[in-house]
Amino acid sequence: MKKKFPLGFVITAILLGASCAVSAFMLNEYSQEKCIISIIMSVVFMAALIAEIIIYQKSSIRRIAELNDAVNIAGNKVLYYAENPVVILGDKYEILWCNREFDTQIMKDDDAFGCDIGKALGVDMKMLLAESIAKTEYNNRIYKITCVPIGAENKNLIYLSFTDITEFVELFNKYKRTRPVVALLVIDNCEDVLQNFKESEKAQVSAAIETLLEKFMSKTTGVLRKLGSYKFIAVIEEQHLNEIIGEKFNILDSARNITVGNKSNIITFSIGVGRGGETLEENEGYAKQALDMCLGRGGDQAAVKTENGFRFFGGVAKGVEKKSKAKSRIISNALQEIISSSGDVYIMGHRFADLDAVGAGAGLAGAIRQLGKTAYYVVDFQKNLSGMLIDKIEAEHPGLIISTEEAEADFDQSCLLIIVDTHNAEMLESRKIFERAAQKVVIDHHRKSVNFINDAVIFHHEPYASSASEMVTEIIQYFKNLNSLSQTLSEALLAGIMLDTKNFVMRTGVRTFEAAAYLRKNGADTIKVKSLFTSSIDSYKKKSQLISSAEIVNNCAVAAAEKESSDIRIIAPQAADELLSIQNVDASFVIYKTGNTINISARSLGIINVQVIMESLGGGGHQTMAAAQLENVSIEQAKKMLYEAINSN
């Protein structure tokens, strides 16, 4: 507000101006005496004006001082009676002053003065000073604390203001608890499972499934609707989903317990859950992605879409084999069209290629060459687990297998890249070739992982297939103008099937034996194939020592190789397979070191899903065959981490 000058000050200024004007006039018109009188009058008025100014300044200063005192008193009263609790702290975080609300709301039962507020309220004062805002809970109330450092009389003080946000936090938590979640539930391969059942038995299964789902939904406030014969959609609240996750989706176990006649373990569910979206439509999209991941991993599991990917539950039952080969025939025709319109064909598997990767890759390359196209299988000749098979193929088919360096030098945009026995770009023999390829085809049998190749023109993925070699064998049977495979390539494909099925014991179906019969018809010699699995006496001794060091924990055999060796990558998986032959062992894990990396090779009989255990350690694989790699940890640390993963799953 502007200050007004006093009336006397204004009158004196006017008289001074008039006097000066008169003096100037008389100086020109009248005598010297009259001029002196006028000048004296001007001086007098000037002195009076100066006196008025001095008096005015002193009175203004006095008024300002009085006003400051009044403002300070009013400010202190306002701060003391403020609605929010307020404190002023010393440099040791002790309370020097607090207002009435702090005394009555927060520390009503204690003497606040001199108290260390950090210890009293559980506040990290250093973090509060750095971030200026913090949140704390005290006496069942939640407060937001605002911090302002101040300086007064060479002292460092801290001003804290408390805002009670209890109601807001409760409302926000209620909002999060009641957010809608979309779940898609599908019965895995129900048509294939029930095709030989009587109509009454099918009705019994349908009734049992719907009863199970109704019981499942009765624990929630959600709704369930049937989308088709074997597909359902449910909308539930976030709080109920957290309870379901806490129970690890026990509806999956209940579904497997459905019995029809004397048959059990015939029904499995795949459940995709979408959460965290801004709309129901967005959550439904997440649920579809999660359901695709479940089906790509063999079914009998639940997948929850999260910000960082997916979280999986279940996955105990074996995938149900589809008996129809219609998909293989369609894939074969589509692959032949792409091959005919492309340049050279390069086939590549995963790093440290095993017999399945080499057999599938080399076998497919040989079949493509019979179509009149140039095809190569790309492998690292130094780092692989199939040296004997590679040497044998090289001797019979020179130039069919090339190194990664040769492939990287010749590969261009017109070439076609076919990836076998993996769908993870991080595991390929050559990342450069993958990034350079304009067209990619993926053929794999491993259960789908989160970071799968999503830009392939053909993504042929069958998690219930025994091996990539089985899938390739089915595809090449539909190749036009293919007379027959050579004996060597047939044996390579058969070796891949035998490796992943453990000599036709694990994960075999009707189509597995049909593929083996086709290869046998093309001249594959089982005795020669068996010779590819032989090892030296030194390797056998190392494997025996590794097996003898195993410990049994929760029906899991865990062995660790303390020393590094050049053939440990071959010995470790073989030892893991051998450990499964021990009584009451459902899964086996072999830990070994290569460089600065700790590797874990996992095997299972199917009761325990080793894929889920390895995924919790950053690895992956299949339900009965998986692996993981840990960086910068010791053997003992890796063993401890493995035990924790086993117990938590």
pLDDT in tens, 94-124: 888 888 888 777 777 667 777 888 888 888 8
Q: What is the pLDDT of residue 419?
A: 95
Q: Among 3.40.50.720, 2.170.120.12, 3.30.70.270, 3.40.50.12500, what is the CATH number of 178-314?
A: 3.30.70.270
**148-181 as b/e, with b when 16 or more CB fall inside 10 Å?**
eeeeeeeeebbebbbebeeeeeeeeeeeeeeebb
* pLDDT higher at 278 or 375: 375
Q: What is the pLDDT of residue 36?
A: 64
In this prediction, residue 3 has a pLDDT band, given cuts at 50, 70 and 90, of very low
Residue keyed to tokens 């080399």: 362
Tell me which residue of 548, 545, 547, 554 sits closest to 643, measured CA to CA.
554
Res 19 pLDDT > 90: no
Residue 602: strand pairing partners: 589, 626
Q: What is the pLDDT of residue 43?
A: 65
Res 357 pLDDT > 90: yes
Mean pLDDT of 489-513: 89
Q: What is the DSSP string of 350-395?
A: BSSB-HHHHHHHHHHHHHHHTTT--EEEE--SSSBS-HHHHHHHHH
Average pLDDT, the chain: 83
CATH number of 537-648: 3.10.310.30
In this prediction, residue 409 has a pLDDT band, given cuts at 50, 70 and 90, of very high
Do residues 400 and 488 touch, judged by C-beta distance below 8 A?
Answer: no
* pLDDT higher at 303 or 196: 303
In this prediction, residue 301 has a pLDDT band, given cuts at 50, 70 and 90, of confident
In this prediction, residue 37 has a pLDDT band, given cuts at 50, 70 and 90, of low
Q: What is the pLDDT of residue 10?
A: 54
Q: How far apart are CA 200 and CA 183, in angstroms?
A: 29
Residue keyed to tokens 């020393």: 563
Mean pLDDT of 256-273: 78
pTM: 0.63
In this prediction, residue 51 has a pLDDT band, given cuts at 50, 70 and 90, of low
Q: Which of 153-157, 310-314, 399-403 has the highest mean pLDDT?
A: 399-403
Count of Cβ atoms closer than 10 Å to residue 409 Cβ = 9
Q: What is the pLDDT of residue 247?
A: 87
Least confident window among 129-133, 200-204, 327-331, 468-472: 200-204
**What residue ranges do the domains of the chain occupy?**
7-71, 86-170, 178-314, 326-531, 537-648
Q: What is the rounded (10 degree) CA torsion for 152, 164, 137, 175?
A: -140
Provide the pairing of β-strand 401-402 with 375-378: parallel
Tell me which residue of 380, 402, 384, 394 sits closest to 566, measured CA to CA.
384
Res 33 pLDDT > 90: no
Q: What is the pLDDT of residue 427?
A: 86
Give the chain's end-to-end CA distance (angstroms, integer): 74
| CA atoms 407, 408, 413, 419: torsion sign | positive
Q: Does this chain's domain 178-314 share its CATH topology with 537-648?
A: no
The percentage of residues in the chain with a pLDDT greater than 90, rounded to a whole number, is 32
Q: What are the φ/ψ torsions at residue 593 (nearest 5 degrees)?
A: -115, 140
Architecture of domain 326-531: Alpha-Beta Complex (3.90)
- Report the amino acid identity of residue 374: T
Res 74 pLDDT > 70: no
Mean pLDDT of 617-627: 82
- Distances from the Cα of 383 to the Cα of 118, 387, 428, angstroms: 58, 9, 12
Domain covering 86-170 assigned CATH 3.30.450.20 in the classification: yes
Q: What is the pLDDT of residue 207?
A: 86
Do residues 106 and 93 touch, judged by C-beta distance below 8 A?
Answer: no
Res 81 pLDDT > 60: yes
Mean pLDDT of 271-300: 87
Report which DSSP code applies to 416. Answer: E
Count of Cβ atoms closer than 10 Å to residue 273 Cβ = 29
Burial of 57 (0-12, 13-18, 19+ CB in 10 A): exposed
Least confident window among 364-378, 449-463, 506-520: 449-463
Least confident window among 306-315, 332-341, 398-407, 568-577: 306-315
Do residues 545 and 577 touch, judged by C-beta distance below 8 A?
Answer: no
Q: What is the pLDDT of residue 540?
A: 84
Mean pLDDT of 600-629: 85
Q: What is the pLDDT of residue 224?
A: 93
Mean pLDDT of 245-252: 88
Res 2 pLDDT > 50: no
